[in-house]
Structure 1
């Protein structure tokens, strides 16, 4: 990647500059609302439970190119490499990354767009549609184990063999600034369509690129940013890390939210651990993730992957978050933005996910 010493500062202005680079290559994804989900979100789950007043806005990055927000970071990262290393040098050496699927497809697509060879290390348990999507862009896919450590070992071997330039899935300023461009659009679209501002924005938290990019963009504003995680098998490493006062470096969860199986990266962690930038982290169970995903499919007619459902699950089912909203909204309805991070799943995967409930 571009040398850290030459990267733009992590500011709102840098996100705006990143948008200038990525705008020609990505979709301006739609923002949707749902009165039904507003009603559900504003209804107490049990007697005596919190009763917040919530109006939801959904930024549909599931409709982004390659089906996820990751396209933004990939296009920004490669163009920054061109400016730092030179386009011909990047095209000669190629790029490499490791990813469970969405960053894999994003980098493969961006590389193909610019005529750059791409090598992608993917866990052998990756969703088949994500693997095929990555291969469809001409990338060389190499399989690994499921943990981040196993991916990194295989990636290092490929780099030694090919001299390809590593483009991390989340732990680099150029990646998180690119991901932050989704929030730039989000803020603008809510103002344009609803003449409103967002009181809060929730994103999923895996490696932290999307959350830290979102927090970087909204930092100078009154919009509060929250991260959301699966709790299954310690998948809530971000939340637990905040409690312990230090980043947790290893995660081995097999949560259904497969895009969130990685630990928070060191660079995103510095932003996420700053309470002035990220107001809090909340987690939900596998059943709550599935319930939120089901509501989106049935009530909004929108297909998302499990990772995308985590923020909505927090809004609907995490009583600590709901109580916070009720206490701090001071009688006013909160406009809460949720970023649907991706929609890369299959009918077979959805059927398998819900077959026990049928």
Structure 2
């Protein structure tokens, strides 16, 4: 498959100055970069984004966390504690379209890179601020540290995640971080679209807590209607049954999602049990949810009679929505994932390529390419400063 040329990407010609770090901000700006934006990543000289040393898995000197969030960007090493460094950032913003930050509350004003200061120099600037709890300094959690698991706990998401008789569990992926990053990217593109008509930039404020509660979706709406807390149900769904993972004879799991009466009858056909389909206790989804415990026990016994792949073949043949509960190894090798060409090779200077996950988007049938490896700290400082007419500026990179 031929990659889309960078000049044909939707955000080609858009310049983003990015002073964010760790997860939500860099995820946002990587999506913008994948779509063609020129993302100038501002990093501390010598140290760089703290995600470079986050976690315990590395390829070369950079962590898997950094590599997953920072492709297609250029790095400029600038010391924001130095007045000259701050002025360089302000000069870069004068020629940019977007500014993204997720610094602690009050820090941008302290550094004079806040919205009022930067928009005075560039009225068309789209300024995106991502925080943990909200930008209002009078908020009850203003100034408190907040990260992904804390947000999961506060939002209620952790209370409905985990096995029924077990403790609350953290979601396996960082939904607040990556949800906020995607929401920020969407909001930025929306603001850029609006700017075409007005010529005016916008100040965008998002926080991880709001995003995670928004992501609760129907679970939040159900609570607001009933006023009731919802139990943890493991892999099951509170409103549908059978709609959960089941263990097969070989110890591997499959997921069955018989969401309505049609699929329930098809499941009964696959189980070769017409009497089950006629049982009034399971006639409707409401009935099946009411008798969930007995139904799950019955299905667990039936499904333990065959290996997982045998059941999947039978269920698929009868049209029952189902799928294997893959490990990550199985998921990355899944034939549909491979067919979709979602895994691409990340270029690594002086080393073998590294597989990574591409943007899940095709443009006119073509995959969006990885154009740049995640940068070294300050790798593009001279290049970018020269482009912005700052070539004579005193060096601030190591």
TM-score, normalising length: structure 1: 0.26
Q: Which has the larger radius of gyration?
A: 2
Structure with higher helix content? 1
